[in-house]
Amino acid sequence: SAVISQKPSRDICQRGTSLTIQCQVDSQVTMMFWYRQQPGQSLTLIATANQGSEATYESGFVIDKFPISRPNLTFSTLTVSNMSPEDSSIYLCSVEWATGGTQETQYFGPGTRLLVL
């Protein structure tokens, strides 16, 4: 599968500030996604990062709070804006990748662990 890295791996931030998380893939991929995993919970899709156009956000997530960039087929960023303690979560990027040339499935990066004080 593709190798996915995220920066930073973790951070502690003050409320009211913003943090930009980077996701880098070692191969060109069409589909990239951003998820949030709140403490003790499952994964929730924030948005699909579209190359060359605006991201597609899921219900409950808005561009002003979670602006996303996708400048090319190997890189994306997610910004968590004007943070509050409720934004403390793990943020994960994923890419769609076909192994063995068959079914495309999603593979995840290691995640960014964010704590907002």
Partner 1 sequence: GESVGLHLPTLSVQEGDNSIINCAYSNSASDYFIWYKQESGKGPQFIIDIRSNMDKRQGQRVTVLLNKTVKHLSLQIAATQPGDSAVYFCAENMGAAGNKLTFGGGTRVLVKP
Q: Which residues bind partner 1 (CB under 8 A)?
A: 1, 4, 31, 33, 37, 39-45, 48, 58, 90, 92, 96, 103-111, 113
Least Cβ distance, residue 4 to partner 1 (angstroms): 8
Choice between 5 and 82, CB closer to partner 1? 5
Torsion sign across C-alpha atoms 62, 114, 79, 44: negative
Give exposure, 22-42, as e/b (b: 16+ Cβ within 10 Å): bbebeeebeebbbbbeeeeee
Choice between 13 and 45, CB closer to partner 1? 45
Tell me phi and psi for residue 99, to 5 degrees.
-95, 135
Least Cβ distance, residue 92 to partner 1 (angstroms): 5
| Nearest-angstrom CA–CA distance, 6 and 32 | 13
Least Cβ distance, residue 69 to partner 1 (angstroms): 19
Choice between 18 and 56, CB closer to partner 1? 56
Selection from 1, 29, 23 nearest residue 91 by Cα: 23
Choice between 39 and 52, CB closer to partner 1? 39
